[in-house]
Amino acid sequence: MAGRIPRAFIDDIIARTDIVDLIDSRVRLKKAGRNYQACCPFHNEKSPSFTVAPDKQFYHCFGCGAHGNAISFLIEYDKLEFVDAIEELAGMHSMEVPREEGQHKQTPEQVSQIKADYELMQLAAEFFNQQLQTHEKSADVQAYVKMRGIEQNIVQAFQIGYAPEAWDALLKTLGQTKQAAHQLRDLGMLIENDNNRLYDRFRDRLMFPILDRRGKCIGFGGRILGDGTPKYLNSPETRIFHKGKELYGLYQARQNNRRLDRLLVVEGYMDVVALAQAGINYAVASLGTATTPEQIQLMFRYSPEIICCYDGDKAGRSAAWRALENALMYLTDNVKMRFVFLPDKEDPDTLVKKIGAAEFENLIDNAKPIETFLFEELANQANIDSLQGKAKLNELLTPLLDKIPPGEFKRLLSNKLNQTLGKADNSHLDRVKEAKQKQTMRNQTASTKATPVRKALAILLEQPRLAQTLAHMTDSQILALGQVELPGVTLFVEVLMYCRARENVNVGQILEHWRNNPNQVTLAKISAWEHHVTEENQEKVFLDIMDSLLSLFIKQRKEILMTKARMNLIQQNEKEELKALLKM
């Protein structure tokens, strides 16, 4: 396990991330004044109470109280661990996550190994791509590529290459030392036989590099050029490649679309490439496996809609059903999943060439919603015209409904089941309950007592730069204000000192600093609190409160020292302090 991630890197990654873009890629936001709004992704509601503040880099829901920064959103929405959320943001910015020494620090050898693995896989991709251009058989291979309708720009975009038919072409080129050969073996590029002889895994195949979300090569898919078997050969699981967690073409789809409104899931590498050639550049492939829960979750991180494109035969519908089952736990109200089934003996590669991109996208536009496919499949197993059939439908659908997160989509599915079974619809009671909960939360937020300290902290959280306006005060003077007997002043001084030491800090970074601290909840509530101070007056109000706190500190400190003097308990340094205070 890696060591700790440096705090400076976490602050940097938050500063680089626009929380509006991040959340809008998953939950469609609408402009509302200087902020953005949406229906909350963390609880079911019909009217928007979820607010994202671009100036604060902070979100807050007045309905359920959810709040936080970019990292918090990924943890809650994508169900990621803290470290995974950092890795996700780093991947968005093509950055490596550094590690500090710690109890579980990666050894230098482990760090070096992973780096070397990525570098070697990239060299392999470059070798295959070069062979496509220079090998003695390259003319035939390029003719095959052209026959499949793939132009040079797509070949380059997907880094397509050619693995020579020799048993040791890659081995001779990149595995000249024993260490390099064993590394290639560990990365799935070579196979070791019973006699401990190594040979190339991929031979005489069109090669499709599999890139991770940062564009690093982690594996390959190889398609045979003739009619042999297997038609496709994939990299095995390795220390850097876990096929159930990756998607072929996702990196290219993200590169080509600033906002992915939808992702189309297909079965093969050539399907992805052929669709991209036709201008449909949002297709991904599930690497020869049934679409896994991890792949579903990954797609929903980048797009609010998944469309699964399968053959219309029994095998295709079976694959679609497995994808449906794996998606249920991620079906919040902010995402959609649909299914399109192709005509017999057609796949996306052949069909898009036959009917053209516009007609193919028309098929996608008319894909079946998940609920339609769900009830169709269950209707094949239960005859709802009979009481026994209705009981069977209830038996089949209830455990599936239990997997779906609470929300409007789940409610509508339940209603449809109830209507089919002839049960009453009580969903209006849930809506009444929700409205009451939301109003209670708004009332609690609105009734927050507007003490001077709370107001100063709210203004500081909105404009952390104000901490830099206190050049006339030393750090010791500011720290001394923490002795003032007022509720919340200690936290205010802590935040003030944090902002004073960091220029251009934002609320997202402040909340991150207080993560796992009991005061984090307080700071989040105050960040969302409406203090009713106009922007042009905020600096004046803030400085006035600071002056009041300083005056109150002087008054309280005088009283303490004078009391000690009357009791003959005052020290010499305190006498001098009292003398100075009496002159102020």
Model pLDDT for residues 92-150, shown as the tens digit of each residue: 887 888 876 554 556 677 778 888 999 999 999 999 999 999 999 999 999 999 999 99
Please report, for the domain that includes residue 489, its CATH number: 1.10.860.10
Degrees, nearest 5: CA angle 175-117-201: 50
For a pLDDT cut of 70, what percent of the chain falls above it? 92
> From CA 382, how far away is CA 394, in angstroms rounded?
9
Tally of domains in the chain:
4
> From CA 256, how far away is CA 408, in angstroms rounded?
32
What are 57's two structure tokens?
A: 């880099």
- Domain for residue 334, yes or no? yes
Residue 260, burial from CB neighbour count under 10 angstroms (0-12, 13-18, 19+): buried
Angle between helices 70-77 and 7-16 (to 10 degrees): 90
Residue 293 and residue 373 in one domain: yes
What residue ranges of the chain have pLDDT lower than 70?
Answer: 1-3, 100-107, 384-385, 422-449, 581, 584
- Domain for residue 392, yes or no? no
Backbone CA torsion sign across 19, 25, 28, 32: positive
Q: What is the pLDDT of residue 259?
A: 80
Residue 229 and residue 263 in one domain: no
Identify residue 205 by its one-letter amino acid code.
Answer: R
Which residue in the block uniquely carries the two structure tokens 């809506």?
431
Prior bond to 108 cis, omega within 30? no
The CA-atom distances, in angstroms, between 477 and each of 89, 167, 323, 482, 497 are 38, 76, 62, 9, 11
Would you say the pTM of this structure is higher than 0.75?
no
Which alpha helices (DSSP H) does 1-56 contain, by range? 7-16, 19-24
- Domain for residue 415, yes or no? no
Residue 578 and residue 473 in one domain: yes
Residue 481 and residue 530 in one domain: yes
Residue 235 and residue 259 in one domain: no
> From CA 384, how far away is CA 290, in angstroms rounded?
30
Q: What is the pLDDT of residue 447?
A: 46
What does DSSP assign to residue 189? S
- The CA dihedral of 362, 365, 370, 373, to the nearest 10 degrees, is -20
Q: Which among 185, 206, 241 is the end of a domain? A: 241
Q: Pairing relation of β-strands 190-192 and 198-200? A: antiparallel
Residue 366 and residue 484 in one domain: no
Q: What is the pLDDT of residue 187?
A: 97
Please report, for the domain that includes residue 358, its CATH number: 3.40.1360.10
Report whether 52 contacts 19 (CB < 8 A). Answer: yes
Identify residue 238 by its one-letter amino acid code.
Answer: T
Q: What is the pLDDT of residue 439?
A: 56
Angle between helices 489-500 and 519-528 (to 10 degrees): 80
Element at 59 (helix H, strand E): strand 58-61
Q: Which among 241, 268, 285 is the end of a domain? A: 241
> From CA 308, how far away is CA 320, in angstroms rounded?
7
- Domain for residue 235, yes or no? yes
Residue 476 and residue 565 in one domain: yes
Residue 228 and residue 144 in one domain: yes
- Domain for residue 528, yes or no? yes
Please report, for the domain that includes residue 211, its CATH number: 3.90.980.10
- Domain for residue 47, yes or no? yes
Residue 373 and residue 456 in one domain: no
3-state secondary structure of 213: coil
Please report, for the domain that includes residue 13, its CATH number: 3.90.580.10
Count CA atoms within 13 Å of residue 525 on its CB side. Answer: 18
Residue 224 and residue 261 in one domain: no
> What's the pLDDT tens digit per position in 12-60?
999 999 999 999 988 889 999 889 999 998 887 878 999 999 988 999 9
Tally DSSP H helices, then E strands, for the chain.
Answer: 26, 16
Identify residue 21 by its one-letter amino acid code.
Answer: D
- Domain for residue 408, yes or no? no
Q: What is the pLDDT of residue 437?
A: 55
Tell me how far the alpha carbon of residue 70 is from its chain's centroid.
9
Residue 210 and residue 269 in one domain: no
> From CA 29, how far away is CA 32, in angstroms rounded?
9
Q: What is the pLDDT of residue 176?
A: 92
Q: Which among 318, 348, 379 is the end of a domain? A: 379
> From CA 510, how far away is CA 517, in angstroms rounded?
12
Q: Which domain holds residue 228?
A: 114-241
Find all residues with CB under 8 Å of 377, minimum gap 6, and list them: 317, 321
Residue 476 and residue 553 in one domain: yes
Q: What is the pLDDT of residue 1?
A: 38
- Domain for residue 440, yes or no? no
What are 306's two structure tokens?
A: 């998944």
